[in-house]
Amino acid sequence: MKHLAWTVALVLLTRGVARPAESLQGKPADPAGNVKVEESRLAPTGQLYDSEKKRDPFLNPLLFKKPASNDAEEQRGRPPLGIAGMLISQVAFLGTSLRQGTSTAVFRGNDKRFYFLHENDRFFDGFLKKIQGDSAVMVREKRLRSGKVETEEITRRLRTP
């Protein structure tokens, strides 16, 4: 039975009834009998991960870090001498005094000198906003390259409540 099937197939091939190169590829064979095969570019068929609003365990989270903001703090230039050239973080609040209705705050700078400031006196990165009985409120100004000015209030107290 096997021999009969092989014999029939051989007869059909020699007579040209079935052309396997043409039927399988859909392309005619060249005169030498070689089949021209075209490479097809297939899209990758992979599985998509449905996170259901959870972190994908197969992705590196460090690759998704947000880049640093381009709106960084602007350089302030060369600071002047005295308290006007010191940052708020560089001065120490020592006390307050009240004389004839005028409040004065005492600060020690990083140059070991003492400075007596009134409200609205300037530091290099801000100013003294308000002097209260045992505290001083300062405003730190952060100038950004975009022209915006961000402010932050800093309160220094003599003793903790």
Rg (CA), the chain: 41
pLDDT at 20 over 60: no
Q: How is the chain split into domains, by residue range? A: 83-157
Question: Domain 83-157: which topology?
Answer: SH3 type barrels. (2.30.30)
Helix (H, G, I), strand (E, B) or coil at 13: helix
At 115, list the tokens.
């400075």
- Number of helices and strands (H, E) in the chain? 2, 6
Q: What is the mean pLDDT of residues 70-77?
A: 78
Q: Which of 137, 138, 128, 133 is nearest to 96 (CA)?
A: 133
- Between CA 15 and CA 101 the distance in angstroms is 121
Residue 144's pLDDT is what? 87
Helix (H, G, I), strand (E, B) or coil at 153: strand
Of residues 110 and 41, the one with the higher pLDDT is: 110
- Which CA distances in Å does 76 have to 92, 97, 140, 158? 22, 32, 13, 30
Q: What is the mean pLDDT of residues 126-151?
A: 91
Q: What is the per-residue pLDDT across 81-133, written as a single tens digit (0 to 9) for each?
A: 999 999 999 999 999 999 898 999 999 999 999 999 999 999 999 999 999 98
Residue 129's pLDDT is what? 96
Residue 66's pLDDT is what? 72
Residue 30's pLDDT is what? 57
Of residues 135 and 46, the one with the higher pLDDT is: 135
- Between CA 13 and CA 7 the distance in angstroms is 10
Alpha helices in 16-160 (DSSP H): 20-25
Residue 23's pLDDT is what? 47
